Amino acid sequence: MFDGDSNKPRSNLQVVLGFLLGVVIGLGCLFLTIFLAGTLGSKAGWILPAFNAAALISVGVVAFRHVKESSYALGIVIALALALLADAACGIAFYK
């Protein structure tokens, strides 16, 4: 998956900076989904984690396409994957 024709080493600093950018993107997705859920006025507790998961997955797919070319994209994918795991835990907590 991550193995490719490129043999150049990845920069750890770029991966860390990509991770921080992924955290900012994840927070942006969270605020966007809070605004969207507030606008729709839904009282269901599961709707916020569902919208957030959709936003995180859509941004993660775009970043995943560029993992072979960029170390920043690898950091973004790692951060968004962790955010998606946290979102799943929140979705389970809201469902109960």
Residue corresponding to tokens 């109960």: 96
- pTM (2 d.p.): 0.82
User: Is 28 part of any domain?
Assistant: yes
pLDDT averaged over consecutive 10-residue blocks of the chain (96 residues)?
62 93 93 84 75 92 92 94 91 75
User: Is 21 part of any domain?
Assistant: yes
Going by the DSSP 8-state scheme, the letter that residue 8 receives in this structure is P
User: Is 7 part of any domain?
Assistant: no
User: Is 48 part of any domain?
Assistant: yes
First to last CA, the chain: 36
User: Is 38 part of any domain?
Assistant: yes
Domain count, the chain: 1
User: Is 61 part of any domain?
Assistant: yes
Q: Where are the alpha helices (DSSP H) in the chain?
A: 12-40, 47-64, 71-95
Residue corresponding to tokens 């969207």: 36
User: Is 41 part of any domain?
Assistant: yes
User: Is 36 part of any domain?
Assistant: yes
Q: Which two tokens stand for residue 95?
A: 């469902």
State the residue range of the domain holding 39.
12-95
Q: Which SS3 state, helix, strand or coil, does residue 20 take?
A: helix
